[in-house]
Amino acid sequence: MFYTGKRNASPEGEAFFESFYFYHSQNKQEIYLKAAVFSKKLYLRMKIW
């Protein structure tokens, strides 16, 4: 299962997760970089995963 993290209540968070799923299906490397920019904590969790 791909790590999705906790959904943010803010509109920015919602927009991020929408692009998150889109880019995951398009390009795994690109979403990996997008997640790193969005949150270092999420980036670290993805690296562990």
Asked whether residue 1 is assigned to any structural domain, the reply reads no
Q: For 4-42, what is each residue's pLDDT tens digit?
A: 555 444 555 555 555 555 545 555 656 566 665 666 666
- Its pTM surpasses 0.85: no
Q: How many domains does the chain have?
A: 1
Q: For 40-49, what is each residue's pLDDT tens digit?
A: 666 566 666 5
* Cα 32 to Cα 28: distance, rounded to the nearest angstrom: 6
Task: Please list, residue by residue across 3-34, b when 16 or more beta carbons sit within 10 angstroms of its beta carbon and e when fewer do.
Answer: eebeeeeeeebeebbeebeebbeeeeeebeeb
**pLDDT score, position 33:** 63
Domain with 42 in it: 11-48
Tokens 């799923």 found at? 21
**pLDDT score, position 2:** 47
Asked whether residue 21 is assigned to any structural domain, the reply reads yes
Asked whether residue 4 is assigned to any structural domain, the reply reads no
